[in-house]
Amino acid sequence: MKICVFASSSSLLHGAYGEAASELGRILASEGFEIVFGGGGIGLMGRVADAAMESGGNVTGVIPGFMQEEGWGHNSVNEMIVTDDMHNRKKTMFGMADAVVALPGGIGTLEELTEAITLKQLGIFNGPVVILNTLGFYDLFLSMLDKMIAENFLRPQHREIWTVATTPHEVVSHIKNYGGWISNPRGIAKI
């Protein structure tokens, strides 16, 4: 099973974020999951990849050519796929993924997470979408999703698109225990 991990590339974060990212990489590798990620060599992306590879895991990076040319790519992943642009990067990652995990991150990570939710809402992606809410990072975002549901921008059933974990172990539990979502997501996509 391939797990697509979206995460920050910032190296200026509170240590707990990095510790959770490393722990997640170790756990995913020890469970035999392969990791697909944005290909970055630093920040939480780098921490997940490094820990997974140190634990014998297989890690594939997917990075746009301009980022690779800037030297932002991880130097030692098992495979690095270079795409033409950001759009094809995400398309490639989603195409490889059986599950999506979002760690804390900036606007790029948030955009990737919301696309995962949208793709699942439309029945284009059907795997688990797990939000790792380290230090309550996503609390305000989750409140915004609740507001969307309360004000009928999303249906109450859409809350089941994602699950929230507070620890890396919970992430793996959500993935392993995933029972699917509704059989016809497009049937409720239109409100």
What CATH number labels 2-175? 3.40.50.450
3-state SS string over 108-121? HHHHHHHHHHHHHH
- Taking only the tens place, the pLDDT of each residue in 47-103 is 999 999 999 999 999 999 999 999 999 999 999 999 999 999 999 999 999 999 999
Q: 85-107: buried (b, 16+ CB within 10 Å) or exposed (e) per residue?
A: ebebbbebbbeebbbbbbbbbee
Amino acid 160 reads: E
Query: What is the spatial distance between Cα 49 and Cα 108, in angstroms, rounded to a whole number?
Result: 18
* Residue 52: Cβ-neighbour burial (10 angstroms; 0-12, 13-18, 19+): buried
Q: Is the pTM of this model over 0.75?
A: yes
Domain ranges of the chain: 2-175
